[in-house]
């Protein structure tokens, strides 16, 4: 994963471009030799070991999600269904994955853990050697029945070691499956490869080249170099245009459309990620009223108890929208609950009153233990709350010149002059606490006239003298409100049961223009 950015409707992931995926390559080759399979499976085992050592359960291992680089190396991709467990003993109930590679415990909706990935590895080994998944059938339900009953057939052409490895991995009882260490030490994988880089000889290179079309054969200026290196170096896959891969049908409890993180294969990013307090700030809904907002992709609520709830919407084939997951954050931002609702039983609580009930199966985290995959959802919840807080008064102060308001964010501020001019001080980007401040000037008719940077010297602005004086007063009044806010925050910390905010200072000026200060 090279870069991530987003706009109002999409998240964009800039990924390393791999040459192809193993499913496309297998479709051309029909099946891999045992040496080729060993080459790939050894790398996949190493990748799974790394993920499991970081408590990450992939839950959707299949050839489509295994990318091949131009050097014929494997990278694990598509972490859209992955989950980071808090402890190695933690189990999960959610039914997610691709039917052909689901472990029996997932297919039968029982608890599952890291052994589910090992089952998928066994199905991968079978598919590489045979050319098709072991439980493939005419429809999803019959495939799941075969998975649940562990019904598969091993062709006669497979070696004894290959059959033994597959049989010992595809065990219905998860505890009886081989561990990753046992798989690595199994006779099938411990056999010496003909070459660490498969197909490095001229003959196999020619064969793969003619079979797949993925290898470089055309550019005359490189032919002589290629001829001289074929016998001593590895093959290289051609650089391909971006691949459009039709994913195998995924099945989960809510039939959700999942935003896939389509190549988090640079696993160093996992170990190098920043502490959560460096990338997120706990939200706080203290003193906020109930609020309900519907956007293009979410239903967003602040409930009576201050809990923030984001219900994510996706459009289904009928053109209607359906809720596919629910993300809930406590009023202090410290407790997070996530689940995918059962669409047969779940109704949006839009009109409901009181506490929101919990389903049977859900995931719960604290702010400090929130997995990185949920950071963006938390950030959206924080932004939603922050927008509301930026519009709600915390301190109101009347002066001889007009009315001042400091908002719940303790940053946003506005000053309405007796003549009707309004000056607002606000962050340029509400998503960031340290975003630069701007000053907006709106004349008595409601027309915005100017925007200045907060740090600009007022004296040097090209505006009339009376406007400069109003700007200077607005900044002075804001500083006064901030001092009052700090004192009141300390008071509330000492007497938390008291109601300190909103606080009002002074009284409305007795002027014929007082209606302006409503």
Class of domain 276-388: alpha beta
Q: What is the pLDDT of residue 230?
A: 32
Given the residues 21, 60, 78, 414, select the one marked as catalytic.
60
Q: Are 291 and 302 in contact (CB under 8 A)?
A: yes
Given this model, what pLDDT does residue 511 score?
61
Determine contact, residues 179/118, Cβ cutoff 8 Å.
yes
Extract the residue ranges of the chain whose pLDDT is less than 70.
Answer: 87-95, 192-275, 343-355, 511-518
- Closest among 83, 118, 90 to 104, alpha carbons compared: 118
Is residue 102 within 8 A of residue 144, CB to CB? The reply is yes
**CA-to-CA distance for 341 and 255, rounded, in angstroms?**
10
CATH code for the domain defined by 391-517: 3.30.1120.130
User: pLDDT at position 235, please?
Assistant: 35
Domain residue extents for the chain: 20-199+248-270, 276-388, 391-517
Per DSSP, helices labelled H in 54-139 are 104-107, 115-130
φ and ψ at residue 472, rounded to 5 degrees: -65, -40
SS3 category, 233: coil
Q: What is the DSSP letter of 298?
A: E
Ramachandran region, residue 287 (left: φ > 0; alpha: ψ -120 to 50; beta: rest): left
pLDDT of residue 280: 83
Residue with tokens 């991530």: 4
Q: Are 20-199+248-270 and 276-388 the same fold in CATH?
A: no
Cα separation, 81 vs 59, in Å, equals 6
Measured distance CA(183)–CA(162) in Å, rounded: 11
Rounded Cα distance, 351 and 320, in Å: 19
pLDDT number for residue 11: 84
Per the annotation, the verdict on 60 as an active-site residue is: yes
Whole-model pTM: value is: 0.48
- pLDDT value of position 410: 92
The secondary structure of 185-229 as a DSSP string is TSHHHHSPPS-SSTT-SHHHHHHHHHHHS-B----HHHHHHHHHH
Q: Can you give the pLDDT at residue 141?
A: 83
Architecture of the domain made up of 20-199+248-270: Orthogonal Bundle (1.10)
């Amino acid at each position: 994963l090279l870069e991530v950015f987003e706009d109002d409707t999409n998240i964009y992931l800039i990924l390393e471009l791999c040459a192809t995926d193993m499913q496309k390559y297998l479709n051309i080759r029909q099946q891999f030799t045992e040496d080729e399979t060993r080459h790939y499976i050894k790398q996949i085992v190493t990748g799974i070991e790394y993920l499991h050592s970081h408590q990450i359960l992939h839950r959707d291992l299949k050839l489509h999600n295994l990318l091949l680089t131009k050097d014929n190396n494997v990278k694990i991709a598509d972490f859209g269904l992955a989950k980071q467990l808090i402890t190695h003993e933690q189990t999960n109930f959610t039914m997610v994955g691709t039917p052909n590679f689901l472990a029996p415990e997932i297919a039968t909706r029982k608890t599952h853990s890291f052994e589910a990935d090992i089952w998928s590895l066994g199905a991968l080994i079978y598919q590489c050697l045979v050319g098709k998944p072991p439980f493939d059938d005419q429809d999803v339900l019959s495939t799941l029945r075969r998975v649940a009953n562990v019904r598969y057939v091993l062709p006669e052409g497979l070696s004894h070691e290959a059959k033994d490895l597959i049989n010992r991995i595809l065990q219905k009882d998860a505890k009886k499956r081989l561990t990753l260490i046992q798989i690595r030490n199994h006779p099938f994988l411990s056999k010496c490869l003909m070459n660490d880089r498969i197909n490095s000889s001229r003959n196999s290179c020619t064969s793969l080249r003619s079979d797949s079309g993925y290898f470089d054969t055309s550019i005359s200026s490189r032919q002589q170099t290629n001829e001289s290196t074929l016998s001593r170096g590895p093959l290289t896959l051609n650089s391909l245009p971006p691949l459009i891969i039709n994913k195998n049908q995924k099945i989960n409890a809510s039939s959700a459309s999942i935003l896939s993180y389509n190549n988090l294969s640079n696993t160093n990013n996992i170990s190098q990620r920043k502490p959560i307090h460096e990338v997120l700030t706990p939200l706080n809904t203290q003193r906020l009223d109930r609020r309900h907002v519907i956007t293009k992709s979410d239903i967003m609520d602040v409930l009576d108890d201050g809990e923030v709830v984001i219900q994510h919407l996706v459009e289904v084939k009928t053109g209607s929208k359906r809720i596919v997951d629910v993300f809930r954050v406590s009023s202090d931002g410290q407790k997070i609950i996530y689940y995918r609702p059962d669409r047969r039983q779940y109704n949006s609580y839009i009109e409901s009153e009181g506490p929101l009930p919990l389903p049977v199966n859900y995931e719960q985290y604290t702010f400090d233990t929130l997995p990185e995959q949920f950071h963006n959802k938390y950030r959206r919840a924080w932004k939603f709350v922050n927008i509301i807080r930026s519009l709600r008064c915390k301190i109101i102060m009347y002066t001889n010149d007009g009315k001042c308001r400091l908002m719940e964010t303790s940053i946003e501020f506005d000053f309405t002059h007796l003549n009707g001019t309004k000056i607002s001080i606000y962050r340029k980007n509400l998503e960031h606490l340290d975003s630069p401040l701007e000053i907006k000037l709106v004349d008595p008719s409601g027309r915005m006239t100017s925007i200045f940077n907060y740090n600009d010297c007022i004296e040097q602005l090209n505006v009339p003298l009376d406007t400069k004086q109003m700007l200077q007063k607005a900044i002075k009044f804001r500083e006064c409100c901030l001092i009052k806010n700090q004192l009141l925050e300390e008071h509330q910390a000492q007497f938390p049961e008291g109601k300190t905010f909103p606080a009002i200072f002074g009284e409305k000026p007795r002027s014929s223009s007082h209606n302006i200060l409503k």
